[in-house]
Structure 1
Amino acid sequence: MNLRPSNNISSGQLKQGLNLVIADGLSAEAMVVFTSGTFLTAMALHMGATNFQLGVLAALPTFTTMFQLAAIWMVQRFNNRKVVTALFNFLARLPILAIGVIPFIFSGGTTVQVLILLLFFQHIFGDIGGAAWNSWMKDLIPGERLGAFFSHRSRMAQTLNVTLSLATAIGIDYVKTHYPQQEIVAYNVLFMLGGILGMVSVGLLLRTPEPKGELINDKLFTLFGKPLKNKNFRNLLVFNSLWAFALNLATPFFAVYMMKTLGLPVAYIIALGIAGQLSSIFSIKLWGRYSDRFSNKNIIAICGPLYVVCIMAYAFTGMAAGGNIVLIMLAVTHILSGVATAGINLALSNIGIKLAPNNEAIAYISTKNMLVAFSSTIAPMIAGLLADFFATNELVWTIDLKSAAGINQIQLLHLQGWSYFFVIGGLLALASLKMLGRVKEQGEIAGRRMTVHMRIGFRNRLRTNLGRRMADRIYNPSAMVRRKVTKLLSERRKLTAA
């Protein structure tokens, strides 16, 4: 196991290293499934967490991003990103293990306050390791393969996420039904498994080669200021920060809304999440290909508005009459949002790496992560503080239709509780997309050209799979009509001649 950076990495070492990066992603994804998202929310609700505490839990992953400054200093001081990444990822797994083990050691168990404190340190260490990892991957992965590689890695991680989430949700619901007194124990076991898998991830990182990076001699705050002086990168920071603020007003509370307002069981929520994950898996390969061929900005311009529609659609699910209609609406929303988030997440990650200079990538990417994190942190905390106010205030918009039979009321809008944040967050996200036009990226083309290219490509694949005639019925009905008319005229001429 070589812990030192290498001056030259052979093609064989690169291939092995990329496979290790994928394996690291899979083990880390399994850890995330067991210790965050819906299962963490369900655990916190079971422990009696308030709305503000739920907001704090949602804000933790982004609030601690400011500690990435420490990663910049350490990489600058030691010029060994592998050791920094592995060490702090190891430290980040210890609090996860502690959350799982404490209830088996102390009879009182874990309180919400202890849970928040341990996750706070977990995210601090994880962010330091993550910043060094970003810089490491920037030098390790060839630029022309960046989009395709990360789309492949994300697709495999999401496939694992779907499988584990479904199996875990079924297990949790079984425990809640047959052994309700053991529900909290089940969550603790998940944290122990997550911590163990996280340690496996650290071992894989230690075996991955690291190319030797250029030593950065600038002072820490000078490095931090460089991205802010770069006009194009500064425009990216403004857009990404506004976008993150808008989304984090709403998205962290989707699971809370479905559990508390709609009353859905955990298995249903996980199943809906899986529907979104599957659509993301099937679409991310496409976005990775277009990321390398066109630009990440083009992908955001297409996926951004679609995701905004999905966020705002949540506000109308509570107005639906009947549980089946609600589930159908949620399923469609999750499927479309899965397609959109696959492109947005890939593009936002890649565009930051792409626009950052090679020798200062860690400073640029960390600056971006910290500013975006600040916006992402205050948004759910504000939402958590205002949630109780909006819970007791309703906005209802109806139309009265008068007829001989009487007056019929048609409800157009009914906002209460979390529904307010879905509408407000969607509108702010839509407004932030206007800032995207100020960002310049190599390979960028007119959005309409990319849309036309995607439509033509889809039509060609459809023709290959379903046959020319069926595709023409969908995309070119005039050609089908012309063929039928020609055939009829030909038959008529034959009859006339006879």
Structure 2
Amino acid sequence: MKPQIHIENKDIERSLKLIIIDGVTSEIVVCLTSGTFLVAIALLLGASNFQIGLLAAFPSLTNLAQIISIILMRRFPNRKSITTISLIFARTPLVIIGALLLQFGISIYFLMTMMFLHYFFSSVGGASWNSWIKDLVPENRLGQYFSQRSRYMQIINICLSLLVAVMVDYFTTQRTNELDRLYAVYFVIAGCAGLIGTFFLSRATEPQSYLSKGSFFDLFMMPLQNRNFRNMLWFNGAWVFAVNIAVPFFTVFMLESLQIPMTYIIALAIISQVFSVLTVQLWGKLSDRYSNKSIIYLSAPIYIVCILAWIFVGIYSRWYINMALLVGIHMFTGIATAGVNLALTNIGLKLAPKTDAVVYLSIKNIATSIFSSISPLIGGMLADYFKDKQLKITFEWTSPGLNKILKLIHLHEWNFLFLIGALMALISLRLLGQVQEQGEVGHSVVKRIMKTRFKSDLKESFIIGNIVVWHSMLKAILRRKRAGELESKE
């Protein structure tokens, strides 16, 4: 468990594989105890909009606990021990939730308390983990490694989510009284998988860490005195604030307003994950070769358009039109999310210096948490405010033979949030221009390279496809000719 000053390449490669295993088990935890399933069990326990918003804010709000991680690392410079112990305390409450829900039942307040402890200790361990990984992964491989890790995690999410959702829908329709027991099993599985991943993580190698001496206040203020890093904090905070106004309520909107079955919702999430898996490796290569800023400039506008597109979901009377729109939204959301999340993670790691990296990364997470924890709460209150308010924009045609009303926009409750979130996200992009990144390349150059590469791949596929078709056609002609010759001889 002790840090090492000199680490061989084989130990680095072995450790990176172990960290991927922990990432996969962490994705099992996320898949079974957050997002759609956490909202569903909260609604089952009678949660209000404010409580759902509070649950969505916990992961960000508890990032303030990373200050504790910095204090611990100054006193005990052993990041692996801090991470491992914190994750044990973080994942045990999930087993407790499942066990008690299975035997006695729980209240929404107990669920919120246990999930708060889960996120709290995850944040304490997350700070030391970030610093640990910053020193372990070579900087020129950040994009490639994290895209690979993300790809494995998303594949697990895809394989698991649909199976879990099918079971939820089955219990909802056939065994409604036992639905809470199904959720209990999910929490137990998630907690056990997380503890297994913690064991593998504890076997990875930790490089020796370095922290500056001096008062804790001076250490804490150091990142804020770095102008470039401070600009990055402003952009990151503004972006997550804007996004979290709307995103946590997409699932609630589909469940309550559209009344879409859980299986369909998870299938849509899987579509998003599939497109994220297909594109995350490309985003990773581009971020290593060019810059993370360019990736954000390319992917963020796509994400904003996807948020805006939610305004038009539900205004059509035909079910298949709404589903087709949701499929398109989730496809492009997956593509954009892969780029935005990867770039936001990597730009923080890249701008943090090797010495005191844990302080820089913790301040980044804390600053982000302040913005992203407030926004779901505001979103929940705004949803309640707009609950009895509507804005309709229609196009009406009247003639002797035809009267037709076409709905253009119908804003109500959740849709107001989606519009506000999209506009604020668009405004936040202006702050990205003030961030300077080493090796930065203009996003227009990267866009041109991506277009050229896409055309080249398309051309190659077209040529190869034609060669295959021509080969098949030639074989068919020869077979027919040979059959004709045999018939003439007979």
**Could you state the TM-score of these two structures normalised by the residue count of structure 1?**
0.92
Q: 1:164 aligns with which of 146, 160, 167?
A: 160
Q: Is 2:182 the partner of 1:219?
A: no
Which aligned pairs between 1:96-175 and structure 2 lie closer than 5 A? Answer: 96-105=94-103, 107=104, 109-175=105-171
Alpha-carbon distance, 1:469 to partner: 10
Q: 2:8 aligns with which of 10, 14, 30?
A: 10
The 8 Å contact of residues 162 and 267 in structure 2, kept in 1 or not, is answered as: yes
Q: Is 2:50 the partner of 1:52?
A: yes
Alpha-carbon distance, 1:269 to partner: 0.2
**CA deviation map 1:186-233 (0-9, x unaligned):** 001100000000101110111000011124323222222111111111
* Residues 178 and 401 of structure 1: CA distance in aligned 2, closer, same or farther (over 3 Å): closer
Alpha-carbon distance, 1:412 to partner: 1.9
Tell me the percent identity: 42
Aligned residue in 2 for 1:69: 67
Give SS of 1:209's match.
Answer: coil
Aligned residue in 1 for 2:29: 31
Q: Is 2:16 the partner of 1:21?
A: no
Alpha-carbon distance, 1:103 to partner: 2.6
The 8 Å contact of residues 312 and 426 in structure 1, kept in 2 or not, is answered as: yes
**CA deviation map 1:281-340 (0-9, x unaligned):** 000000000010000000000000100000111111111231111111000100100000
Alpha-carbon distance, 1:165 to partner: 0.3
The 8 Å contact of residues 42 and 108 in structure 2, kept in 1 or not, is answered as: yes
Aligned residue in 2 for 1:347: 343
Q: 2:367 aligns with which of 350, 365, 371?
A: 371
Q: 1:86 aligns with which of 84, 88, 95?
A: 84
Give the whole-Å Cα distance in 2 for the aligned partners of 1:131 and 1:69.
8
Stretches of structure 1 that go unaligned for 5 or more consecutive residues are: 471-498
Q: 2:310 aligns with which of 311, 314, 320?
A: 314
Relative to structure 2, which stretch is displaced further, 411-420 or 129-138? 411-420
* Amino acid corresponding to residue 290 of structure 2 in structure 1: F
Give SS of 1:264's match.
Answer: coil
Relative to structure 2, which stretch is displaced further, 317-326 or 240-249? 317-326
Aligned residue in 2 for 1:490: none
* Amino acid corresponding to residue 82 of structure 1 in structure 2: K
Q: 1:245 aligns with which of 232, 236, 241?
A: 241
Alpha-carbon distance, 1:400 to partner: 3.5
Give SS of 2:307's match.
Answer: helix
Q: 2:194 aligns with which of 189, 192, 198?
A: 198
Aligned residue in 1 for 2:475: none
Which aligned pairs between 1:250-261 and structure 2 lie closer than 5 A? Answer: 250-261=246-257
The 8 Å contact of residues 72 and 220 in structure 1, kept in 2 or not, is answered as: no
Relative to structure 2, which stretch is displaced further, 26-35 or 218-227? 218-227
Give the whole-Å Cα distance in 1 for the aligned partners of 2:37 and 2:465.
48
Give the whole-Å Cα distance in 1 for the aligned partners of 2:63 and 2:440.
30
Relative to structure 2, which stretch is displaced further, 276-285 or 28-37? 28-37
* Residues 170 and 104 of structure 1: CA distance in aligned 2, closer, same or farther (over 3 Å): closer
Which aligned pairs between 1:315-330 and structure 2 lie closer than 5 A? Answer: 315-330=311-326
Give the whole-Å Cα distance in 1 for the aligned partners of 2:60 and 2:16.
27
The 8 Å contact of residues 399 and 410 in structure 1, kept in 2 or not, is answered as: yes
Give the whole-Å Cα distance in 1 for the aligned partners of 2:268 and 2:215.
48
Give the whole-Å Cα distance in 1 for the aligned partners of 2:57 and 2:50.
10
Alpha-carbon distance, 1:405 to partner: 4.1
Which aligned pairs between 1:267-346 and structure 2 lie closer than 5 A? Answer: 267-346=263-342
The 8 Å contact of residues 235 and 439 in structure 1, kept in 2 or not, is answered as: yes
Alpha-carbon distance, 1:410 to partner: 3.0
Alpha-carbon distance, 1:442 to partner: 1.3
Give the whole-Å Cα distance in 1 for the aligned partners of 2:263 and 2:59.
25
* Amino acid corresponding to residue 74 of structure 1 in structure 2: L
The 8 Å contact of residues 102 and 180 in structure 2, kept in 1 or not, is answered as: no
Give SS of 2:441's match.
Answer: coil
Aligned residue in 1 for 2:469: none
Give the whole-Å Cα distance in 2 for the aligned partners of 1:406 and 1:173.
43
Give the whole-Å Cα distance in 2 for the aligned partners of 1:402 and 1:33.
51
The 8 Å contact of residues 316 and 407 in structure 2, kept in 1 or not, is answered as: no
**CA deviation map 1:10-59 (0-9, x unaligned):** 11111111110111100111111111111111111111111111111111
Give SS of 2:260's match.
Answer: coil
**RMSD of aligned Cα (Å):** 1.5
* Amino acid corresponding to residue 460 of structure 1 in structure 2: S
Give the whole-Å Cα distance in 2 for the aligned partners of 1:323 and 1:407.
22
Q: 1:176 aligns with which of 134, 147, 172?
A: 172
Stretches of structure 2 that go unaligned for 5 or more consecutive residues are: 467-490
Give the whole-Å Cα distance in 2 for the aligned partners of 1:34 and 1:219.
42
Relative to structure 2, which stretch is displaced further, 433-442 or 398-407? 398-407
Give the whole-Å Cα distance in 2 for the aligned partners of 1:33 and 1:222.
39
The 8 Å contact of residues 69 and 366 in structure 1, kept in 2 or not, is answered as: yes
Q: Is 2:384 the partner of 1:410?
A: no
Give SS of 1:391's match.
Answer: coil
The 8 Å contact of residues 76 and 216 in structure 1, kept in 2 or not, is answered as: no
Give the whole-Å Cα distance in 2 for the aligned partners of 1:468 and 1:162.
31
* Residues 174 and 408 of structure 1: CA distance in aligned 2, closer, same or farther (over 3 Å): closer
Give the whole-Å Cα distance in 2 for the aligned partners of 1:468 and 1:10.
44
Alpha-carbon distance, 1:411 to partner: 2.3
Give the whole-Å Cα distance in 2 for the aligned partners of 1:316 and 1:224.
45
**CA deviation map 1:377-398 (0-9, x unaligned):** 1111111122222110001122
* Amino acid corresponding to residue 44 of structure 1 in structure 2: A
Alpha-carbon distance, 1:77 to partner: 1.3
**Aligned residues between the structures:** 467
The 8 Å contact of residues 155 and 284 in structure 1, kept in 2 or not, is answered as: yes
Give the whole-Å Cα distance in 2 for the aligned partners of 1:251 and 1:463.
38
The 8 Å contact of residues 66 and 373 in structure 1, kept in 2 or not, is answered as: yes
Alpha-carbon distance, 1:129 to partner: 0.1
Give the whole-Å Cα distance in 1 for the aligned partners of 2:73 and 2:9.
25
Aligned residue in 2 for 1:424: 420
Aligned residue in 2 for 1:265: 261
* Amino acid corresponding to residue 329 of structure 1 in structure 2: L
Give the whole-Å Cα distance in 1 for the aligned partners of 2:82 and 2:16.
19
* Amino acid corresponding to residue 393 of structure 2 in structure 1: W
Give SS of 1:436's match.
Answer: helix
* Amino acid corresponding to residue 18 of structure 1 in structure 2: L
Which aligned pairs between 1:378-457 and structure 2 lie closer than 5 A? Answer: 378-405=374-401, 408-457=404-453
Give the whole-Å Cα distance in 2 for the aligned partners of 1:273 and 1:123.
23
